[in-house]
Amino acid sequence: MASIEIKTETFDGSDCTLTDGDLNRVLTLGNTNLTVSEGFLVFVNGLYYTTGTDYTVVHADTSTAITFLVAMYDDSAITVVYYQTDMQSITLPADLSTKIQDVVNIIDDNGESATLKRKTTVTGTMGEVVSETNTDYTINWLRQDITNKDRNIHEMGLAIPGNIKAFLYPWYTEDITGQSGTLIPQTGDIIEDDEGKLWRMEQI
């Protein structure tokens, strides 16, 4: 069965070829299936890099290669988010990367910083709770008041009730959250706003 997987890899500039500060340094990814152009995102020190201007990429079934067209320093923090698939081709919206970045920019320009709190529970073979861990992640989000239109949608049975609408990144990389790995917000997460108020996430 064909699969599509989203992956995140983190590197230092020293993982690239050539030497500190050089142009055209090449970074090789650890993908095990074909990567694709759409949804392919590169961040260096938290800044979004643009394909064709800041880098080029040669997609491959394994070891996709990124060539940085600008100076790359050994201590730079590099994050790459991409889709990989075992299909020969994949159909995604032609401007997916741009749309994702547009959403991120709107949240950054109009939103605020908050803390996402997630509880992870490990259960045993009999369903008993073996352990629980609580992790805090720094995120950016944008919230809006519920409108009359939103209330009408709920009254028609098409959504659950809520107090606010929240807009979040599709995912958060570790250079934002302060925690290792990629965070994908999900139902049940708790968000603490800058006033200390807690909000539980539910999906419309």
Q: Which residues contact 47 (CB under 8 A, 6 or more apart)?
A: none
Q: Which residues contact 177 (CB under 8 A, 6 or more apart)?
A: 116, 137, 138, 139, 183
Has this prediction a pTM greater than 0.85?
A: no
Q: Which two tokens stand for residue 145?
A: 């008041």
**159 alpha carbon, distance to own chain's centre:** 25
pLDDT in the model for residue 27: 98
Beta-bridged to residue 183, according to DSSP, are 172
What does the pLDDT profile of the chain (204 residues) look like in tens digits? 456 788 889 999 999 999 999 999 999 999 998 888 877 889 888 788 888 899 999 998 899 999 999 999 999 999 898 988 876 555 555 566 677 778 888 998 999 999 999 988 777 777 787 788 889 999 999 988 776 555 554 454 444 456 788 888 888 888 888 888 778 888 889 999 989 999 988 866
For 103, the 3-state DSSP assignment is helix
pLDDT in the model for residue 154: 47
pLDDT in the model for residue 182: 76
